């Protein structure tokens, strides 16, 4: 029991430092980088086990969000922050709105035995989808903002979210 308590306490701390606004804490968190912090790994890592979601995601607007920016806009934080996912541990930029923009940075939950256990996966950074998952980008800071309705926007027919498979494809 004691051990579980410690693990939960660590998970809570990690959740606190791992805000969705990656760009804001990346500089501040630099000295603590060795400490546990979930990192973005990129959608090709998820594809191994979630081929159906990956292929469906490829057809969504999120998978093409980077190309909507002109080259000079891609360099500006005021534009790129919502048209990209984040940076990997080695500072490569993950362009487009990838899996982890909605599901959370995957470095610590992507292992098979963690993924198979919903509780462990949540502790390792897999996030539930709420309205806030979307409205951190779908808000008035976007120059092209359209009113956001979660129920409508979550429907794959709206062009944002991948189609759902009844079960994740086992890797």
Q: Which residues bind ligand HEC (CB under 6 A)?
A: 41, 43, 45-46, 48-50, 53-54, 57, 61-62, 64-65, 68-69, 73, 78-79, 81-83, 97-103, 106, 110, 112, 115-116, 118, 129, 133-134, 136-139, 141-146, 153-154, 158-162, 164-165, 167-168, 170-171
Give least dist CB 25 to ligand HEC, A.
Answer: 15
Q: Which is nearer to ligand HEC, 87 or 136 (CB)?
A: 136
Give least dist CB 148 to ligand HEC, A.
Answer: 7
Q: Which is nearer to ligand HEC, 1 or 130 (CB)?
A: 130
Q: Which is nearer to ligand HEC, 24 or 139 (CB)?
A: 139
Report the alpha-carbon distance of residue 50 to residue 46 in Å, rounded.
6
Contacts for 159-164 with beta carbons within 8 Å, 24 or more apart?
Answer: 159/60, 159/61, 160/60, 160/61, 160/62, 161/60, 161/102, 162/53, 162/54, 162/56, 162/57, 162/60, 163/52, 163/53, 163/56, 164/53
Residue 55 sits at the vertex; the CA angle it makes with 74 and 128, to the nearest 5 degrees, is 75
Q: Quick one: which of 90, 92, 110, 91 has its CA closest to 100?
A: 110
Give least dist CB 73 to ligand HEC, A.
Answer: 4
Give least dist CB 5 to ligand HEC, A.
Answer: 24
Report the alpha-carbon distance of residue 25 to residue 20 in Å, rounded.
9
Q: Which is nearer to ligand HEC, 33 or 141 (CB)?
A: 141
Report the alpha-carbon distance of residue 125 to residue 107 in Å, rounded.
8
Give least dist CB 95 to ligand HEC, A.
Answer: 11
């Amino acid at each position: 029991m004691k051990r579980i308590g410690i693990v939960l306490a660590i998970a809570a701390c990690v959740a606190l430092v791992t805000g969705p606004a990656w760009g804001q804490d990346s500089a501040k968190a630099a000295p603590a980088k060795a400490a546990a912090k979930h990192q973005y790994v990129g959608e090709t890592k998820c594809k191994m086990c979630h081929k159906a979601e990956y292929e469906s995601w490829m057809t969504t607007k999120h998978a093409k969000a980077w190309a909507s920016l002109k080259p000079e806009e891609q360099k500006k934080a005021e534009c790129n922050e919502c048209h990209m996912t984040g940076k990997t541990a080695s500072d490569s930029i993950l362009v487009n709105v990838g899996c982890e923009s909605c599901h959370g940075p995957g470095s610590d939950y992507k292992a098979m035995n963690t993924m198979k256990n919903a509780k462990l996966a949540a502790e390792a950074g897999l996030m539930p989808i709420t309205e806030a998952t979307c409205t951190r980008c779908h808000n008035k800071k976007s120059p092209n903002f359209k009113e956001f309705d979660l129920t409508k926007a979550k429907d794959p027919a709206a062009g944002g979210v991948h189609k759902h498979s009844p079960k994740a494809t086992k890797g």
